[in-house]
Amino acid sequence: MPREFSRNQRLGNQVLRTLNELLRFETKDPRLEGVSLSAVNLSRDLSVAQVYFSMLDPNADPASVRQGLEKATGFLRSKLGRAIKVRHVPELRFVHDDSAAEGQRIADLIEGALSSEKPR
């Protein structure tokens, strides 16, 4: 009987949960306030983790947040290594998740189309 979730998915969920807690409670960088991690994709050999982040303000510039995350990478990896029991802690690569801004743009387009079609 196959397993419901692969080891890759289970470890990715654990990394995501732990990193969100670390960002929320243990980082002091003001650039990282209002940042949440939305997904983690681990490579097949579990050596690289692509971590997708989003911000409360979808129109804000993600460059400063990415710089803050990259500066905190060493701290986050060391804390992550203590929290999860793996032989090698994956390298963290941060990618901006712009799905919230894209969703807002699509909602605005739909709203504009509906408002231009007024009943006759």
Q: Which helix (H) or strand (E) holds 32?
A: none
The per-residue pLDDT for 95 is: 95
The per-residue pLDDT for 4 is: 62
The per-residue pLDDT for 112 is: 87
pLDDT per residue of the chain (120 residues) written in tens, 0 to 9: 456 668 888 899 999 999 999 999 999 989 898 899 999 999 999 899 999 999 887 777 889 999 999 999 999 999 999 998 888 999 999 999 888 778 888 988 899 888 887 665
Bridge-based pairing of strands 48-55 and 91-96 is parallel
The per-residue pLDDT for 1 is: 46
CATH 3.40.50.300 applies to domain 7-116 = no
Cα atoms in the Cβ-side hemisphere of radius 13 Å centred on 22: 21
The per-residue pLDDT for 5 is: 63
